[in-house]
Every structure is written in structure tokens, then in C-alpha cells.
């Protein structure tokens, strides 16, 4: 029977220690990546907003029932808005809102002047070129509320 060398198996406990150390290092890297990157949350209070989604659908149905449409354009330092009904007739009323950068939440208040029935103009100077969103509300002659959200490009 050959003699057993007692030094031959001294490395086995170190393999287990090294394996556990590798697991700890990998898990620490994954925890760091999970905490320092995108959270996955795109909407605050998403559960509450989901529960009130029927209100969103009802508001969209009210908008659709009005049959109004808007054309929004941004050119030469002014936001031009034209609002028409289902038959193409202009809608007069009071228009208010903001011009907002979609990602930065920079909002420029707009002061509209009526150029005629269904036509509104607001002077605005977007500080940066690129995409902006017009978030407007038209209060019609009978008190109807029409929400307008349209993306425009600033030169």
C-alpha cells in the first residue's frame, strides 16, 4: 500500500474559499450594476395611475366626441395653432399652455393672441434646437375643454 502524502490535499479548502470569494465578488458587481443603472420605473405612482386608467379612457372619449382637430407649427419664433371642428369650421375660444422639452422638463409658458376664429399665435423662443412638445388646452365657446399635445421641431 502506497504511503499517503499529507501535503497533497492541503489545497482543497482553499478551492472552496476561492469559489466563495468569486461568488461574493460577482454578486457585489451585480448589486452595484443594479443600483447604479436605470430603475425601470418610467411613471411615478404607476399603480395609482393604472387604477385610474378608466378616467383616461373617458377623457379620450370626450375628446373624440368633440371631433375637433388642431394643427400646431413652430416657426420663426412663434407657435401657430389652428383649431377646427368636424366640418372644418374654425373654433374660437381661449387657448393656454406651455412648450415643453420632453426629456428635460423645461417648460416655456405661452401667451396666445387670437388672430381670428380658430387661429392663435404665441411668441416663443426655444433656447435649444430639437424636439419640443406643445401642451395646450382650448376652452371652447360653450366651456368645452380640448387638450392638444403635439410635438414640434425647433430649428
User: Which among 101, 78, 98, 93 has a CA at the least distance from the CA of 142?
Assistant: 93
Return the SS3 of 109. Answer: strand
Q: How many separate domains does the chain show?
A: 1
C-alpha cell at 93: 375660444
Note down the domain range covering 113. Answer: 68-154
Say which CATH number the domain at 120 has.
2.60.40.3340
User: Does any domain span residue 82?
Assistant: yes
Does residue 26 surpass a pLDDT of 70?
A: yes
Does residue 3 surpass a pLDDT of 70?
A: no
Assign 155 a pLDDT band (cuts: 50, 70, 90).
Answer: confident
**89 burial level (CB within 10 Å; 0-12, 13-18, 19+):** exposed
* Cα–Cα distance measured from residue 113 to residue 126, given in angstroms and rounded to the nearest whole number: 18
Sheet holding 78-84, edge to edge: 69-75, 78-84, 119-123, 113-116
Q: Which has the minimum average pLDDT: 39-43, 73-77, 102-106, 110-114?
A: 39-43
pLDDT of residue 89: 92
User: Does any domain span residue 123?
Assistant: yes
User: Does any domain span residue 73?
Assistant: yes
Amino acid at each position: 500500500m502506497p504511503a499517503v502524502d499529507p501535503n497533497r490535499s492541503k489545497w482543497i479548502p482553499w478551492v472552496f474559499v476561492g469559489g466563495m470569494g468569486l461568488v461574493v465578488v460577482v454578486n457585489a458587481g451585480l448589486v452595484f450594476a443594479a443600483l447604479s443603472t436605470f430603475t425601470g420605473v418610467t411613471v411615478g405612482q404607476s399603480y395609482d395611475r393604472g387604477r385610474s386608467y378608466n378616467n383616461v379612457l373617458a377623457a379620450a372619449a370626450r375628446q373624440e366626441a368633440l371631433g375637433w382637430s388642431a394643427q400646431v407649427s413652430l416657426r420663426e419664433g412663434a407657435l401657430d395653432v389652428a383649431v377646427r371642428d368636424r366640418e372644418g369650421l374654425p373654433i374660437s375660444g381661449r387657448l393656454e399652455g406651455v412648450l415643453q422639452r420632453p426629456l428635460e422638463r423645461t417648460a416655456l409658458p405661452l401667451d396666445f393672441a387670437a388672430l381670428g376664429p380658430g387661429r392663435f399665435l404665441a411668441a416663443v423662443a426655444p433656447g435649444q434646437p430639437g424636439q419640443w412638445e406643445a401642451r395646450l388646452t382650448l376652452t371652447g365657446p360653450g366651456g368645452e375643454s380640448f387638450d392638444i399635445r403635439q410635438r414640434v421641431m425647433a430649428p
